[in-house]
Amino acid sequence: MSILKRLPFVSLALLLLTYMTFGWVTSQAHTPWSVRLLTVIAIVFLIGGLTTSWRRLADYSFVLFKSKFRSFSISLLAAFLFFLMLAWFRVFLDILLIVAATILARIDFQAAGFSERQAFWVLSVFSVTGFALAVLIQQFF
């Protein structure tokens, strides 16, 4: 079976539209190019985090909770992030939409039988393309 026949086009279209919306909003805020570059790097890290296996993430979580100080620090960070979520609810909803679209595409890639590496590269290309395309379109309009 060809790789193009196995691609989940609906999920990829939603992912592309989501990141285009994010790129449009970022571009309308007149952010400098350095912030946009950091945003692209954050997108790649988000996709990398969502495409790694859960076993690997479980191995890393044991390192975080080895000591009481680390556990307390993680608890404080979680409380602060919860406060930010409530304070900037609109931004939180935008981020939640981006994460949900990425997870949906990841699940569809997993169901289609793609490897983690293939899913990472295809999701990265579509996400960064959507973000860059929206920034370029907004620059011309």
**What confidence tens digit (pLDDT) does each residue in 99-116 have?**
999 999 999 998 988 888
Q: Is 36 inside a domain boundary?
A: yes
The residue ranges of the chain whose pLDDT is under 50 are none
| Six-digit token string for 93 | 């909803």
**SS3 label, residue 1:** coil
Q: Is 136 inside a domain boundary?
A: yes
Q: Is 1 inside a domain boundary?
A: no
| Six-digit token string for 90 | 């609109």
pTM reported for the whole predicted model: 0.80
Give the domain range for residue 27.
Answer: 8-140
